Each structure stands twice: as C-alpha cells, then as structure tokens.
Amino acid sequence: MEEESKIDVKQALRVFDRVTREGHRETDGWHYKGLTASTDFDGYTVFINSAKVKLTVFFHNKFSIDYSSDRELQDFIRLLASLDQK
C-alpha cells in the first residue's frame, strides 16, 4: 500500500480550507464536491472524508488514512488534486 505515500498533507490542508470556505455546513462538517471536512473539538486534528476514504491529519502534519482498495485511494488523491486547483 505504497499509495499512502502519495498523500500530500499540505495539499490536503489547502483542500480542507477550500471545503470549509466554499462548502455548506451540516452537523457532521462542511460538504463540498464529494468531501466532508471537520475537526476535533480543539481544531488540531482535521478530518477529510469521501464516501470511501477517511483521511485524518494530526498535529505536526502526521496523518492516517483508512480505505479498502488502492483504487479508492487513487480516486481520493485525484479528488484532492482537482480541488486544489484554482
């Protein structure tokens, strides 16, 4: 599962910012173009979820990612990249 190394945490944080700025707020977070973004109670941990992938970014840009297949992860990485475009 070397695909995990393709996660660009800085890019993910830029996408998180865009989702929270341009998305609509619901009880579980902000929703925008297939992603849901939220934080823990103090804002130090960031969650970015698609329907099939869950990315958690911790303090100091460490992260964990939960997915079932490499294809799901590749689709998630492509979605992050497309939303990082201006």
The pLDDT, as a whole number, for residue 1 is 47
Count of positions (residues) in the chain: 86
- 53, burial (CB in 10 Å: exposed 0-12, middle 13-18, buried 19+): buried
Q: What is the pTM of this model?
A: 0.90
Asked if pLDDT for residue 35 goes beyond 60, the answer is yes
Q: Can you tell me whether residue 46 is helix, strand or coil?
A: strand
Q: How far is residue 33's CA from residue 31's CA, in Å, rounded to a whole number?
A: 7
Q: Can you tell me whether residue 52 is helix, strand or coil?
A: coil
Tokens of 58: 């911790």
Q: Tell me: the pLDDT tens digits for 57-70?
A: 999 989 999 999 99
